[in-house]
Structure 1
């Protein structure tokens, strides 16, 4: 008969894996014979370890009754393990419902995670109402991803404020989430759409894989009103693969605002669309971004896209030119060289020459490498080498390499950039014939007296490239060349990088190894293993089953160099199938290898039977001198250890912590580690009163990491009123997570009445966050005679209890308190308040905004725009504040809120009322002491608010409404400003009409100059969304209709951006001959080309 004593004796000397296999086999055998219950009962009456063993047996045997019993255990580790077992066994919901209200927060989170991980949807749906009622919306929201669609549809409106991971919910319920987001957009005016997407963009991104068409529908609907959500960037490539034409149209849509996604996956997906569409996308890009885009499309199409995107611009980015096929690149270079701007610039001319055909460029580039100054030569060498590499001809590259004989006598700045450029050449262009030349270049560079670290890095990069290419192409001469170059860099063995070997065709790793084996074997006889280690590291998992290579790694463990041994041990222990056997050999050969992380981890987590030869011993060897005390920093592995091993390790840490020879810092480290060892709580308590402050504080902090943090909460609370409060209060947070709610509330209640403000604030936060029974009553009672900071904490805590009327009573008191306390009410935004409470919360915000105290009112007015959707207060109070010239403290905040309210309601009447009232008050306070024309300044501020949101339809509508009043009152400058705002650039025809209205208002020369300047300022944003041809047509139409100044305002930025092609130059020439001398002078001051 198997008894607990016999079983525990049988597993005592086994490593963890064998122990678990023995327990599983025993569980199945005893379950079949009916003897399991007796064994479980015997084990359960012993310690915590034995109970966890019993729980494992019960789980393997699928004994749900014992697993259910363990859910009520007194040890956190047992309950945590039981939760996982119960979920995997799919125990009925009733098992959990009775225990859930008494579980600490940490164990509840473990419970919810297990439900999600194992997809227990039915259980989640049974728990959802209970969790919501007992622990609030935030915990309940965590169950939604595994609930059914019907449950999510019903719960989502009430829980959306509490959802932390919209992406996960979007992936699990894509249709439901997209319906919800669509409804949210339909429920608000477009001015709020950016806010909606900011909140729910993750949900749309999560749903993109399952519902790409619907996500694209939403994005297209969003396009005119809000920027593309940044969350979409990570799925835009998948959307483009699904519908490349739709995505391309969306990117080039002139109504699009905000950033342009830049993912290479997007460019690759768009490579299948037509040339015209590719050209339209390419026009949105510049410099390196255009080069990356071209790189993603087929080489045969790059020339057409490049030409269509850049036309004949002289400033074509050369890195984009480099992406063109070799047949097209010289033609572009010749065109550029024919331009005076290039021909007159020596540096640009040489860089463009490097893009010519090799036969045409070689002599010029070679001559440039022999120029008089080092700076000129340093500029020329990279171009010379890059041009050779661009031929993709190994013979050409070889000839250039053998011709670099002058580098040996060059200055280091020149030599450095030349070697770096050589290292950038693709490795497949190197031939064995040039191996000796490469060696000489590297050796000369490293042995030069002025060799810099930049040169050393360049040589290392070149050597790595040569070695990698030699290994992958089975050309050992190149490997030898690279190794020889590295050998001259340092007396120490240099590390070699062969990253990428694991991407070779399957089976090619054996050919690589066989090609390098003679060198590896010869090196091994000399005690050198650099190539071996590089090959093993580069092959990664492919090296695991290569017997000869593994044998050589075993041999490398005896190398003289400690760094080589460390690396060899790490690589030799990498294969998981042999790790257990190998780590025993490593440790037996040299016990000091316990200092190596791979050895320590393998022993701590797998070969636990070896711990008896580690703990309490003084290993010495290569990595530890005899007599040096070393305690391995074990962590996160004690659940796999035997009780006696845990006890022995705790005793060793305690010995260090109490040693008179240990420094205070060593003792602090030992105490901190001791706190994470199970069963060490009493040992840690013994250091709380230590004479060394850092040790005592380490002990206090370590108490929170003991195996039962809830049990040490009283210990920490005893120090919240002492000078250790800063440590104790910080540690309270973790302990609270492991304390049952009812006990937590009872322990923290006295703290609310204490003297330490910091402790009282933390108590408020913990009581609220963990929703202890009677929390609202306790928190409400703490308001009276509360410190200002405590009251602010109480206000913040109400977010968890807004379904309780007492929370609203407390918020009402906060609104009437000093502005620092009232301001805490505003710390909550609409996103974190349940929608059923938003209207009522908006009333609180409105009350603060209407406060008689200016400081308080400013806070409320600043927050008001976010709450306008749910506020019924209307625009009148805001209009009154803006137009009351006696109110100098809050009008600006009121103005911002009013503009947002007007946009939300699509009603510009309040703005018209403001302008009318301020125009009537114009002239008051004319340059008096401390004030000057306040009404005029407030109108200027309103114009500025509208100008700042010029791309919105509301701003355009408001501008059109206010222009007549301002123009009639003689405010021509602001009328012109708003007329520019009112231009609808996205609508062909409407844009020209709007600009003509600008011209009609700009009747004076000063206004015409202002209008032209403002157009020049807004054009960069417009150009990104309008075609150059359309802008040229608009400018020509303006020039021919008496609005020449505006035409020039468009021509300056648009012509410069287009590179001043003939159409724009013709327009400029006409403006220089205009009848208006101001236009002629301004046009003559614009230059299409610099001398």
Structure 2
């Protein structure tokens, strides 16, 4: 007899959710085609749950016809599931029906096409979506399309792409071609605006096209290095990547990390030393640790150069990374330096790194000093020095000498134990284990023991256990277990968090055995602190330890409520047993439903127990008799039966209406109704509640019912009342579930609503969802008599989605002459939100705002005008007028910035020079509130151009402006500033610096220029080859001595005063120019 729909649903009714899913899959596989058709017809004729069941069976059985039938089903949720199934089964009709889907279903369609990479569906889908729903939706399909389709569409759709990384991951070559073409067409000054997009793309394509990525990075030397790229490129071509990283023109943080440094190990020591010089001082020890020991000394020497650790700001711990002989030799060298020898702390830290025979007596004396702070500093150094010998005999002898720790203060003892825990455990001989246990015992028995000591003991014990297990030294395992046992005997609680990460596989049983006496003793007293701490710390390993699980089970009946809650959570953690165990927990005490762990398992795995929860009494230990309790569930209702959802809705609605219940609990119950299937009717009633918080919570939840389109009229009606503040946002979500045609009709009442918020949201939704006549709707709202300015602003903002409609340009043009709040909305649209084909026309609108007679409006336009400069040919003229018109005092500064940025974008100095000539020719106006306005404006222009030139792209502009001002005596200082800013100091080329120095004809100008040169050099000195700056100083010494001194000062401070630098300084100290001579004499190579 064929399986009927009624019988199947009856069989499913008593099963938990996982069993239902298995039953559906088995049914789909067992039925023949005819029986399957009968069953699916019966299910499709039923309610929404039956139709959902039928769709799941059809998907497993591969019944394409039934999936197509569900695509036209009445429920939005069913259509959403059917869309995913159709894509999975490759149903071509799904693309043809996209025009009939609401936005929410279309979003699921795009996600499924991308996730399953259905190129055969995506290619025909792209033009259809773009034509009907616009570019913003079309780009959601783009990653799933074929390469040729992406290559053809990307130039026009690139502005709308939100996730370049995802697109580049699917189509690396196509996207990289597009990025390279964009770099070709984008002025160099605007490249930083591409930085984020470029980083996403390069990170995604580095593995597929490493050579091309390196070429892009070499080309864009002014941009930062994306961290995601460096490791991949280093494994491909380490030497080439290192050249890119160390390029003096590159800005931004340097990618770091062990993985990257390991990938660079193929580079020469000198190259690695150059990398080390660019790192922060605190990163150098970690960098050396990655290198093979035999290479560390050479790289260390290259990093430090002539500097000591103090002047280089590198911690003394870097010495620990050197081989023993090199470490001792370097420590001896440092001890001979006055900067170290005269500092007691530095002297002790360095002495600890000398040969053990020399360091031991010094450290022993330091551990006996009079203050606890000094001893707390000395013990870790002594322990680390002993461990540094890498000699178990020496280390064991040292351990035996730590007899004074027993009577030490806790800060000293904790520091010593922490250092001992960090020492390599393989240094501990079997004979030393009792000594270590003695130290642990002394610490655990101390009256003033702190958590620091406990943590150190735990770390020490786990490291001993791991080392013993790996090296098969049972004595170490026993010692670690004994240490943990000592800790367990005396600690009120044990911090065993993430213990599973520190133990080798199988060692958990020995740890449990060591702690078993403590666990047994606690259990006899009804306490389970250690047992639960161990179970939590072992994580998944505890699931396969029956004896430990037995203690967790007993803890469920402990007297302490917190203990019970923790025990229940741990007992239900194992997936294999949680279903059976949760039934035991609930049967033993129904009030345990108050625990999240119980609710979670019931809601998703043992849904058959929901009937008991909803109908049976829940009183027990955690709920007194007579207390009404409704457990709150979230995000699990898809796994429930319709009757369970209906019962839960009734319970929550009754609870929310019960005025004897505290208001906050009623509000929580109302919010919990969100997303429960079949809750719409209950929420409609609660919307009329007297309490505002309940009414508004219900209104917000209405948007999350199973059919949001059905409640949209209700919400629109409320959007014209005082509830508009909630209703309009709920309307926004419901609109995603309605087709554009009916949505346009539904939104009409909102367009004329009394509430400004409602009118704004209605316009936005009409345009965003492309309702019929959206452009005309926007124009009507914008031009409505006495329309509120905020609504007009909303229309202007929405017009960016309608730029293919002529009426949208009419609205935008009208907005540029509107009041300030409306006009500025035009310039708030980002350039990247406007298609390339419309940017020239939009740039005219931005210029119109910038030229507004209202200064505040003009300032907003001027702030963004440079972004549009590539497409705006008339902008320079407006800006020159604003800069040179001395009667305009409110906007000139922003105009100067915009003019310089525009010139940098177009590489055309003519507007800059025109403005400078105009200001030079302008007469200086007097007055009590103004002072040399033309000069102030010209100097501001010089400052902005010079700042831009330092970054690189604006250097030709600085040279041109400097040439103009060179012959103007009163602006010689500005000419020098510009010339120096244009000098490529990263190349260490003396010619531009000599030219700049020649312009500085007075001592004041030369020393101002020297100060600016020092500032620039400090930014690049660590990336330059070590010999470049000494050579540059030597080349400048004869004709530009002030500059030579500036170069020597920066190079000597950064890399140490090498012999060439000392020679240059010696020559300058004997220079005939007394200003040069005095400055050189005041420059010291060694601090006294």
TM-score range relative to shorter protein: over 0.9
After superposition, the Cα gap between the structure-2 partners of 1:426 and 1:790, relative to the gap in structure 1 and judged at 3 Å, is farther
Q: How far does the alpha carbon of each residue in 1:1060-1079 deviate from its partner, in whole angstroms, 9 at most, with x for none?
A: 33433343333233222222
Tell me if structure 1 keeps the 8 A contact 2:274–2:1025: no
Of 1039, 1043, 1057, the match for 2:1040? 1043
| 1:959 and 2:958 aligned | yes
Q: Is the 8 A contact 1:282 1:309 kept in 2?
A: yes
Q: How does 1:589-988 map to 2 (within 5 A)?
A: 589-620=588-619, 624=623, 628-784=627-783, 785-873=786-874, 875-921=876-922, 924-926=924-926, 928-970=927-969, 971-988=971-988
Q: Distance in 2 between matches of 1:401 and 1:563?
A: 42
Give the deviation of 1:560 after TM superposition: 6.0
CA distance in 2, matches of 1:850, 1:495: 68
CA deviation after TM superposition for structure 1 residue 534, in Å: 6.0
1:250 CA displacement:
1.0
- 2:1014 matched residue in structure 1: 1016
Contact preservation (8 Å) 2:44, 2:50: yes
Greater shift in the superposed pair: 262-271 or 620-629: 620-629
Q: Within 5 A, what are the aligned runs for 1:152-167? A: 152-167=150-165
Instruction: Encode CA deviations 1:510-558: one digit per residue, 9 max, x unaligned.
Output: 3x14433533554554327666656655665556566666666556656
| TM-score, structure 1 as length reference | 0.93
Verify the 8 A CA contact 1:268 1:296 in the aligned structure 2. Answer: yes
Given candidates 284, 294, 304, the residue that maps to 1:300 is: 294
CA distance in 2, matches of 1:579, 1:182: 55
8 Å Cα contact 1:1012/1:1049 also seen in 2: yes
Matched-pair contact (CA < 8 Å) for 2:802–2:808? yes
Aligned residues of 2:592 and 2:598 also touching (Cα < 8 A):
yes
- The answer for the alignment partner of 2:204 in structure 1 is 206
Paired residues, what number? 1066
Post-superposition CA distance 1:128-161 (Å, at most 9, x none): 1111111110111111111001100111011111
Q: Which residue of 2 aligns with 1:1027?
A: 1025
Which residue pairs with 1:993 in the alignment? 991
- Judging changes above 3 Å, is the alpha-carbon distance between structure 1 residues 1003 and 487 closer, same or farther for their aligned structure 2 residues? farther
Could you say which residue in structure 2 is the equivalent of 1:480? 482
Given the alignment, which residue of 456, 465, 473 partners 1:470? 465
Question: What CA deviation, in whole Å up to 9, does each residue of 1:671-706 have, x standing for no partner?
Answer: 110233210111122222223222222222222222
Query: What does residue 1071 of structure 1 align with?
Result: 1068
- In 1, the alpha carbon distance for the partners of 2:508 and 2:426 equals 19
> How big is each residue's C-alpha offset from its partner over 1:974-994, in whole Å with a ceiling of 9 and x where there is no partner?
122112112122335xx2111
**Matches of 2:561 and 2:515, distance apart in 1:** 19
| Alpha carbons 2:494, 2:530 under 8 Å: kept | no
CA gap 1:472/1:443 in 2 versus in 1, 3 angstroms: same
CA contact (8 A) 1:498 1:534 kept: no
User: Is 1:58 paired with 2:58?
Assistant: yes
Which moves more between the two structures, 166-175 or 66-75? 66-75
Instruction: Quote the Cα distance in structure 2 between the aligned partners of 1:867 and 1:584.
Output: 66
Q: Partner residue of 1:272?
A: 266
Mapped partners of 2:1011, 2:398: distance in 1: 54
SS in 2 for 1:941: helix
Looking at structure 2, the residues matched to 65 and 1035 of structure 1 have their Cα atoms a distance apart, in angstroms, of 82
Compared with structure 1, are the counterparts of its residues 75 and 415 closer, same or farther at alpha carbon in structure 2 (3 Å cutoff)?
same
- Residue in 2 aligned with 1:1056? 1053
User: SS at 1:1024's partner residue?
Assistant: helix
Deviation digits for residues 830-882 of structure 1, max 9, x if unmatched? 21111111111111112222223322222222211100111121633322222
Q: 2:223 aligns with which of 220, 227, 233?
A: 227
Q: Distance in 2 between matches of 1:182 and 1:891?
A: 37
Q: For residues 755 and 239 of structure 1, do their structure 2 counterparts lie closer, same or farther at Cα, with a shift above 3 Å needed? A: same
Q: Quick check: 45-54 or 786-795, which moved more?
A: 45-54
Q: Provide Cα deviations, 1:639-679, integer angstroms capped at 9, x if missing partner.
A: 11111211222222223223343200111111110233210
Kindly report which structure 2 residues correspond to 1:253-402, keeping only aligned pairs within 5 A, or say none: 253-315=247-309, 316=312, 317=314, 318-393=316-391, 396=394, 400=398
Output the CA distance in 1 between the equivalents of 2:896 and 2:512: 78
Give, in angstroms, the shift of residue 412 of structure 1.
5.0
CA distance in 1, matches of 2:190, 2:66: 55
The Cα shift of 1:258 comes to 2.6
CA distance in 2, matches of 1:717, 1:302: 72
- Measure the CA separation in 1 of the matches of 2:627 and 2:426: 51
Query: In structure 2, do the counterparts of structure 1 residues 390 and 598 end up closer, same or farther at CA, with 3 Å as the change threshold?
Result: farther
For residues 544-563 of structure 1, the aligned pairs below 5 Å read none
Give the superposed CA RMSD.
2.6
Instruction: Report if the CA contact (8 A) 2:735-2:765 is conserved.
Output: yes
Range moving further from structure 2, 102-111 or 391-400? 391-400
- Counterpart pick for 1:240 among 234, 237, 244: 234
Query: Do the aligned partners of 1:899 and 1:945 also contact (CA within 8 Å) in 2?
Result: yes
Unaligned runs of 5+ in 1: none
State the shift of 1:1045 in Å.
1.7
Residue 185 of structure 1: aligned partner: 183
In structure 1, the partner of 2:473 is none
In structure 2, the residue corresponding to 1:164 is in which secondary structure?
coil
Q: Which range is displaced more, 703-712 or 460-469?
A: 460-469
Report if the CA contact (8 A) 2:497-2:536 is conserved: no
Separation (CA, whole Å) in 1 of partners of 2:653 and 2:230: 56
User: 3-state SS of the aligned residue for 1:924?
Assistant: coil
Unaligned 5+ residue runs, structure 2? 470-476
Does structure 2 retain, via aligned residues, the 8 Å contact 1:463–1:486?
Answer: no
Compute the TM-score of the two structures, normalised by the length of structure 2. Answer: 0.93
C-alpha change, 1:459 and 1:427, in structure 2 (3 Å) is farther
For residue 728 of structure 1, report the CA deviation from its aligned partner. Answer: 2.1
Q: Distance between the aligned counterparts of 1:947 and 1:576, measured in 2?
A: 66
Tell me if 1:46 matches 2:42: no
8 Å CA contact 2:489, 2:518 repeated in 1: no
Per the TM alignment, residue 814 of structure 1 is displaced from its structure 2 partner at its CA by 0.8
Report the CA distance between 1:908 and its aligned residue: 1.8
Q: What residue number does 2:90 align with? A: 90
Q: Matched residues in 2 for 1:269 and 1:986: separation? A: 27
